[in-house]
Amino acid sequence: MNWLYYLLEANLYLVMFYGFYRLFLHHDTFYALNRYYLIFSSILAFTLPFFQLGFLKKEVVISYATFTGTPETPSLFTLENGLLLLYAIISLVFILKICLGLHKLQSMIRKATKIKENRITLIEIKNSKMAFSFFNFLFIDPELDQKTTILKHEMVHIRQKHSVDILLFEMIQISSWFNPIAYLIKNDIKLIHEYLADEVTTNKDIAKYEYAMFLIQNSYDNQKVSLTNHFFNSSLLKNRISMLNQKKSAKWARLKLLFILPLTGLMLCLSTMAFTKDYATIQLGQKKESLAIVFQDTTKKKADKKNLPPSPPKEPGQIKSKKVKEITINEPLIVTDHKRLPPPPPAPGPLKSKKPGQPKVNEVRFPLPIVKKDKKDMPAPPPPPVEPKPAKSGNDSETITGIAVTNDDNKAQSITSTSPAEQKDLKPVTVVGYPSTGNKSTIPVKKVKGIKIEEVIVVGQPSKKQ
């Protein structure tokens, strides 16, 4: 119902402007000033609803971007549509009334005798006892007394284009037919037109007393067209005669118009703070602050939740896992003769082997997985691996592995060496191995029998040297 709110607000301002006129300007003799005040204040009343003071307005921005709800089909039989239909019907009646008035004028122009002189068309209507004007058309009965005075009076209406004012207030009456102030303003603007014409007519050629007696003697209530300025209008006669004898207002009385400034400011404050606008407005000044509201579609989410199967019951005693923000695990890279092998067990260093039949290992990388989580839940990092200490070189005490040997008791043992054995013939060595599960003592190997060793790979370190 934006149109109804706009009309109510505009007519409220129209009432306030007209109230100011009746209180301060109605009895002044500044007729031209009063005419322009009624015209511009009426236009301003219908314009102010589109303006707002930005520094008083708390803007609310509503976004429907994420709202995808199903729109409801509006019904035609609503209160808003009923009021709109009633408003349109009554406004149409007033429009037809104006059209009928224009049609009467056209018929009178077509049937009467026309005389055009100085862009003024004089239309003689015999036996009508009427004198009025509409734009550049002057309608008059040629048999009226003091025809010259009447022509001078009506020429003021034509030169000052009073017919434009009448059409303007007829349009205001069409849009605000429910406001009685619209009828009062239209009558006052016609009365001001007569004040202006009477003032010019009585300045020369005729005295005010004689002019007033002429109006009384020729007052006929025969107004047929409401769109025109009638010379013999009995409804305005009393006010016209009283204003002829009115004393001229002092020049300082024009300063009363300055009070219209705070009145207009009050209307702007009302337009900003007292009325909610759903139509476009113009902001005057910087905005106070803004509040953004975003509507989200919750109906669809609720419907989706209804269609989902129920979640399985939780096991008793289930421990809730802590939330891990980010986990990144790099896959180990193993390159062996362009073939992908399963990752070997971790070793303290790179492995090299030139033993025949053994695949060549170029590079083995085991990057540690990166786990990012809360600092409170992160365990202490493990200690770095201890580098193996190289054993003493020599043939008397070496730890050798990689081949099967036989000790004095003819039992197979695995031997290791901390350094390559570069020897042509196998020498007797003392072999130190890892302790067994049940017995922590090591098995000494006095003699080693085997083939010639070209290269031995170091893979570990003994727990205790003997």
C-alpha dihedral sign at 20, 21, 23, 28 = positive
Calculate the average pLDDT of the chain: 73
Contacts by residues 30-38 (CB-CB < 8 Å, ≥ 24 positions apart): 30/249, 30/253, 30/254, 31/192, 31/195, 31/196, 31/199, 32/196, 33/254, 33/257, 34/192, 35/165, 35/189, 35/192, 35/193, 35/196, 37/257, 37/260, 38/185, 38/188, 38/189, 38/192
pTM value is 0.60
Average pLDDT over residues 386-392: 58
φ/ψ of 332, rounded to 5, equals -65, 145
Give the pLDDT of residue 355. Answer: 52
Q: How far apart are CA 153 and CA 206, in angstroms?
A: 12
Instruction: Answer yes or no: is pLDDT of 22 > 50.
Output: yes
pLDDT number for residue 244: 87
244, with CB counted inside 10 A (0-12, 13-18, 19+), is middle
What confidence score (pLDDT) does residue 49 get?
92
**In terms of DSSP H, where are the helices of 320-418?**
none
How much is the average pLDDT of 385-399? 53
Give the bridge partners for 140, in sequence order. Answer: 124, 131
Choose the weakest-confidence range: 203-207, 298-302, 376-380.
298-302
Mean pLDDT of 24-52: 94
In this structure, are strands 137-140 and 120-124 parallel, antiparallel, or unpaired?
Answer: parallel
- What pLDDT, on a 0 to 100 scale, did the predictor assign at position 258? 92
b/e map 305-340, b = 16+ CB within 10 Å: eeeeeeeeeeeeeeeeeeeeeeeeeeeeebeeeeee
pLDDT band at 363 (very low <50, low <70, confident <90, very high): low
Is 96's pLDDT higher than 90?
A: yes
Long-range contacts of 386-394 (CB under 8 A, 24+ apart): 387/348, 388/348, 388/458, 388/460, 388/461, 389/461, 390/418, 390/419, 391/417, 391/418, 391/419, 391/465, 392/418, 393/418, 393/419
Residue 278 tokens, joined: 């759903």
Task: Give the count of beta carbons closer than 10 Å to the beta carbon of residue 256.
Answer: 15
User: What average pLDDT does this structure show over 289-317?
Assistant: 54
